[in-house]
């Protein structure tokens, strides 16, 4: 995904940074919150592969964000 430029890009960065800061205050990263949010949806029965497939399009790894909290296994 190409980085947004101009005022809209700056607005995005500020909002995203604020959200990440709020999550960090609760010892969560954005991907961790996404997983917890999906698991809270009791109308669906989740398996790991399904969560990965659902959340991969939203990954910030291409921007280098949250890579320190990523793990395998």
The pTM of the whole model exceeds 0.75: no
One-letter-per-residue 3-state SS of 1-65: CCCCCHHHHHHHHHHHHHHHHHHHCCCCCHHHHHHHHHHCCCCCCCCHHHHHHHHHHHCCHHHCC
In order along its 73 residues, the chain shows pLDDT tens digits of: 455 678 998 998 999 899 989 989 988 887 788 888 888 988 988 888 988 888 888 776 545 454 444 444 3
């Amino acid at each position: 995904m190409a980085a947004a430029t101009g005022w809209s890009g700056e607005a995005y960065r500020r909002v995203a940074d604020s959200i990440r800061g709020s999550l960090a205050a609760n010892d969560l990263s954005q991907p961790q919150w996404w997983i917890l949010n999906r698991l809270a949806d009791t109308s669906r029965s989740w398996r790991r592969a399904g969560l990965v497939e659902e959340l991969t399009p939203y990954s910030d790894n291409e921007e280098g964000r949250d890579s320190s909290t990523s793990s395998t296994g």
